[in-house]
């Protein structure tokens, strides 16, 4: 039974007129709830706003006691209103008091009301508040009434998002969307960055919500959908889409969303309710995002980025906003803010102006995080809802040291961080002055400091740091940022340029390490329950020998008579290394037969990152020319703790006694067999961890370029042999309660080391 005295379109027209009147915010809200109550023949209409503290505050009402406004609050999840806010779903009840979630608030005077219809007020899939109607008569509200309330909620969402709304007098709720905000986020790299927000793929702002002519809006929607579909179809005509069946499958799934009948039907229904085509797209995407964000299925959540992009494409067609942000438009000291982005998208920006990246999603091992760290850019992730709250041009501070993001910081906070940055700059000047000094400890032990790299863009940093060479060049980054499998000639060019930039310094090329968390779309495989221990790295290469042989061939050709070091990743037993080395030998002989210049010196090494190798080092090391430790994987396998899972990653210390004993076991074996050993993981670039590694006998450390100066300063201040003897004694006498960090900090303090 529908009791609306006016249709949804008439209600929208009346609401639009109210929005255009010169009224204060509270007066406008009061008039809006009065209009809704009248149009829907409801005894009550109330509007609640979700505050930052998780409380839903009654902001306006028609039918409940006015003195309850700005006094009545409900926690998120409490009562019917709290339930709607937490689940982001409408709730329609014939007898509200009988619902188990019903929460009675005597100050509102809602005793006689039974029927209840509430809808979430959403923006970018995030709940901003709840709009509800109530009636004395016990009945369910009709679909038309539900649709009318949902449509009205779309208008309220934009109203709540304005700066003017935050000035609501007497609210006492401190709601101000433009006020300073602080986000707890995950740090994906070290450092502090101050700058201005630059939204990556910014949300199209909808300004016209109410349709003047519904038929005309429907036609606009249909034309825009056709245009958008044509633009997606055009992608298939691009050269790199031809004959790439696996890559085309990804775009096919994207095109499938664009042709989804259910999606188009919901858009048409939203327009029919009286919204403009733009407002309809925003309304449907808000609802879709709210549902998908609450899904636990990772596949469904991964599709959210596709749907967001699709909705934004359609909005750009409708609004004529086809502007593309080019490199020249990036402001100085820019900090990119995005829900998520790929590494290729990051590399499109002018890195001379880019200071940091803040993501709503992402993880430490996300491709964009890996690339950003490689470029020395501060990057943080898992900053919930940041893209919906900030705007391009806002001041922002990324503090990757504490895991905090400050949006629109106050003057005193900004001044504090400006001082920190100045101090950091002075430290960098101090480190720069050390670049030409030999990296030797006070007691004469030479420590070799090297870079980890993966992009040509970060190789010139070797001149600035004075590092001895490139200890790890991650060749997979080229594969991860490409839209298709790099051809032989493309790989040869990359590796040759890398050697040119390294000049006379050594550079170690790690063979393709993909799979697991390093997803390459055109080499997709079946979903695995435990990808970190699945079909990845060397296993993938040995199963697809053409892929591995092509890369080895490219490396050998790129050397063109120069020395070449090849590192074989994720070796699990001697047989795998022998098989990989045989591939290298076959390709080397092939060059000889073709009269092509071969490397003047070829060394093939193994990466130790699987615990099984710890028990056959005496068999493996004679087969190798050098070895490297991949601490990221080795530690996660030793501790059975997924490093990408924050809940368990915090439960272990990478340099706890058991892990240090494993490192020492490798170092002792390498020394026994006279094989160079390098630590290539994240640990090498952190002072206290680097101290521990040197103390157990590892004298070659490869790290991010930004860490070299700090570690060199530590080396130059260190009496290493004294440290080694003290740590060895502590490990030998450990009864299970040795706090290794406390022990190392105490030793460092006695030596006056700069940690």
Nearest to 200 by CA among 321, 303, 342: 342
Give the separation between CA 337 and CA 202, rounded to whole angstroms: 9
Burial of 679 (0-12, 13-18, 19+ CB in 10 A): buried
Backbone φ and ψ of 731, nearest 5°: -70, -40
What does the DSSP 8-state code read for residue 142? P
pLDDT of residue 735: 87
276 close to 210: Cβ distance less than 8 angstroms: yes
Backbone φ and ψ of 517, nearest 5°: -85, -10
Nearest to 382 by CA among 366, 358, 346, 348: 358
178 close to 166: Cβ distance less than 8 angstroms: yes
pLDDT one-digit tens code per residue, 178-235 = 567 888 888 887 778 999 999 887 667 677 777 888 899 999 999 998 888 887 777 6
Give the separation between CA 637 and CA 516, rounded to whole angstroms: 14
pLDDT of residue 59: 92
Q: Which residues, 6+ apart, have CB-to-CB distance to 513 below 8 Å?
A: 474, 475, 476, 536, 537, 569, 570
What does the DSSP 8-state code read for residue 185? -
Give the separation between CA 196 and CA 651, rounded to whole angstroms: 35
Distances (CA, A) of 674 to 236, 484, 576: 55, 41, 22
Q: Which strands make up the sheet holding 395-399, listed edge to edge?
A: 181-184, 404-407, 395-399, 192-199, 334-338, 354-359, 378-381, 186-187
Q: Where are the alpha helices (DSSP H) in 441-536?
A: 461-465, 476-481, 488-502
Q: Which residues, 6+ apart, have CB-to-CB distance to 411 below 8 Å?
A: none
Give the separation between CA 163 and CA 168, rounded to whole angstroms: 10
Q: Where are the alpha helices (DSSP H) in 51-190?
A: 79-87, 143-160
| Residue 112 region by backbone torsions, left for phi larger than 0, else alpha for psi between -120 and 50, else beta | alpha
Residue-by-residue DSSP string for 511-542: PP--BTTB--GGG-----SSGGGSS-HHHHHH
Distances (CA, A) of 446 to 471, 514, 675: 16, 34, 16
| CB-based burial, 615-654: b 16+ in 10 Å, e otherwise | eebeebbeebbbbbbbbbbbbbbbbebbbeeeeebeebbb
pLDDT of residue 110: 77
HSE toward the beta carbon, residue 498, CA cutoff 13 A = 33
Give the separation between CA 467 and CA 497, rounded to whole angstroms: 18
Instruction: State both tokens at 201.
Output: 């793929």
Nearest to 542 by CA among 569, 509, 522: 569
Distances (CA, A) of 499 to 459, 489, 597, 606: 10, 15, 15, 21
State whether residue 69 is helix, strand or coil.
coil
Burial of 254 (0-12, 13-18, 19+ CB in 10 A): middle
364 close to 188: Cβ distance less than 8 angstroms: yes
Give the separation between CA 233 and CA 312, rounded to whole angstroms: 17
441 close to 720: Cβ distance less than 8 angstroms: yes
Residues of the chain short of pLDDT 50, as ranges, are: 163, 169-177, 239-250, 297-299, 324-328, 522
Nearest to 316 by CA among 391, 158, 202, 204: 204
386 close to 405: Cβ distance less than 8 angstroms: yes
Give the separation between CA 742 and CA 337, rounded to whole angstroms: 37
pLDDT of residue 444: 96
CB atoms within 10 A of CB 601: 11
Give the separation between CA 282 and CA 42, rounded to whole angstroms: 27
The enclosing H or E element of 199 equals: strand 192-199
Q: CA-based Rg of the chain, rounded to a whole angstrom?
A: 30
Give the separation between CA 422 and CA 413, rounded to whole angstroms: 14
Q: What is the pTM of this model?
A: 0.62
Instruction: State both tokens at 138.
Output: 């016990």
Nearest to 59 by CA among 137, 171, 153: 171
pLDDT of residue 174: 43
Sign of CA dihedral 407, 292, 233, 476: positive
Distances (CA, A) of 476 to 348, 486, 531, 628: 19, 11, 17, 17
Give the separation between CA 336 and CA 346, rounded to whole angstroms: 9
Give the separation between CA 453 and CA 703, rounded to whole angstroms: 8
pLDDT of residue 173: 43
Give the separation between CA 383 and CA 59, rounded to whole angstroms: 28
């Amino acid at each position: 039974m529908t009791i609306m005295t006016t249709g949804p379109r008439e209600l929208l027209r009346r609401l639009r007129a109210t929005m255009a009147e010169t009224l204060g915010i509270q007066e406008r809200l009061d008039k809006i709830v009065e209009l809704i109550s009248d149009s829907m023949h409801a005894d009550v209409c109330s509007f609640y706003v979700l505050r930052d503290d998780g409380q839903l505050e009654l902001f306006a009402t028609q039918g409940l006691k006015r003195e309850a406004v700005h006094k009545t609050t409900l926690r998120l999840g409490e009562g019917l209103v709290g339930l709607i806010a937490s689940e982001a779903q409408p709730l329609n009840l014939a007898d509200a008091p009988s619902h188990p979630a019903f929460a009675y608030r005597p100050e509102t005077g809602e005793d006689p009301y039974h029927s209840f219809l509430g809808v979430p007020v959403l923006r970018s899939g995030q709940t901003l508040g709840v709009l509800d109607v109530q009636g004395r008569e016990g009945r369910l509200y009709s679909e038309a009434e539900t649709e009318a309330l949902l449509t009205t909620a779309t208008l309220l969402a934009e109203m709540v998002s304005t700066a003017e709304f935050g000035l609501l007098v007497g609210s006492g709720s401190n709601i101000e969307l433009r006020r300073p905000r602080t986000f707890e986020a995950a740090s994906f790299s070290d450092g502090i960055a101050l700058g201005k927000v630059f939204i990556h793929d910014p949300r199209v702002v909808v300004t016209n919500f109410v349709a003047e002519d519904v038929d005309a809006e429907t036609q606009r929607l249909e034309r825009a959908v056709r245009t958008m579909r044509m633009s997606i179809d055009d992608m298939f005509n691009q050269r790199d889409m031809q004959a790439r069946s696996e890559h085309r499958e990804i775009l096919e799934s994207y095109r499938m969303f664009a042709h989804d009948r259910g999606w188009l039907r919901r858009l048409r229904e939203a327009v029919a309710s009286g919204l403009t085509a733009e407002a309809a797209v925003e309304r449907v995407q808000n609802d879709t995002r709210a549902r998908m964000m609450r899904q636990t299925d990772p596949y469904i959540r991964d599709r959210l980025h596709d749907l967001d992009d699709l909705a934004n494409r359609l909005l750009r067609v409708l609004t004529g906003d086809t502007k593309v942000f080019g490199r020249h438009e990036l402001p100085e000291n820019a900090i990119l803010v995005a829900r998520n982005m790929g590494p290729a998208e990051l590399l499109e920006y002018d890195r001379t102006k880019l200071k940091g990246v803040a993501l709503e999603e992402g993880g430490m091992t996300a491709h964009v995080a890996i690339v950003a760290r490689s470029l020395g850019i501060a990057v943080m992730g898992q900053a919930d809802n940041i893209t919906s709250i900030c705007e391009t041009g806002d001041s922002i501070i990324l503090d990757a040291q504490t895991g905090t993001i400050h949006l629109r910081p106050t003057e005193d906070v900004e001044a504090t961080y400006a001082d920190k940055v100045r101090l950091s700059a002075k430290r960098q000047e101090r480190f720069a002055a050390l670049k030409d000094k030999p990296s030797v400890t006070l007691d004469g032990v030479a420590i070799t400091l090297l870079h980890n790299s993966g992009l040509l863009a970060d190789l010139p940093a070797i001149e600035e740091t004075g590092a001895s060479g490139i200890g790890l060049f991650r060749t997979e980054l080229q594969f991860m940022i490409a839209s298709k499998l790099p051809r032989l000639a493309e790989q040869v060019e990359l590796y040759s340029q890398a050697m040119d930039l390294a000049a006379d310094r050594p550079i170690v090329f790690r063979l393709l390490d993909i799979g697991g968390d390093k997803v390459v779309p055109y080499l997709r495989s079946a979903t695995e329950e435990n990808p970190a221990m699945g079909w990845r790295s060397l296993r993938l290469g040995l199963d697809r020998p053409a892929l591995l042989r092509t890369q080895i061939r490219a490396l050998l050709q790129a050397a063109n008579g120069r020395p070449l070091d090849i590192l074989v990743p994720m070796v699990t037993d001697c047989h795998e290394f022998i098989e990989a080395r045989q591939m290298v030998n076959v390709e080397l002989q092939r060059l000889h037969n073709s009269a092509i210049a071969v490397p003047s010196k070829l060394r093939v090494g193994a990466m130790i990152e699987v615990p099984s190798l710890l028990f056959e080092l005496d068999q493996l090391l004679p087969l190798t020319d050098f070895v490297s430790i991949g601490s990221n994987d080795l530690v996660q396998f030793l501790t059975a703790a997924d490093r990408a899972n924050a809940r368990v990653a915090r439960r272990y210390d990478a340099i706890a006694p058991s892990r240090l004993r494993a490192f020492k076991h490798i170092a002792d074996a390498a020394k026994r067999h006279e094989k160079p050993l390098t630590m290539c993981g994240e640990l090498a670039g952190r002072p206290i961890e680097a101290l521990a590694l040197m103390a157990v006998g590892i004298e070659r450390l490869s790290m991010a370029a930004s860490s070299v100066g700090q570690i060199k300063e530590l080396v130059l201040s260190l009496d290493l042999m004294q440290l080694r003897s003290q740590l060895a004694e502590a490990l030998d006498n450990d009864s299970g309660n040795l706090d290794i960090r406390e022990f190392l900090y105490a030793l460092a303090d006695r030596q006056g080391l700069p940690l």
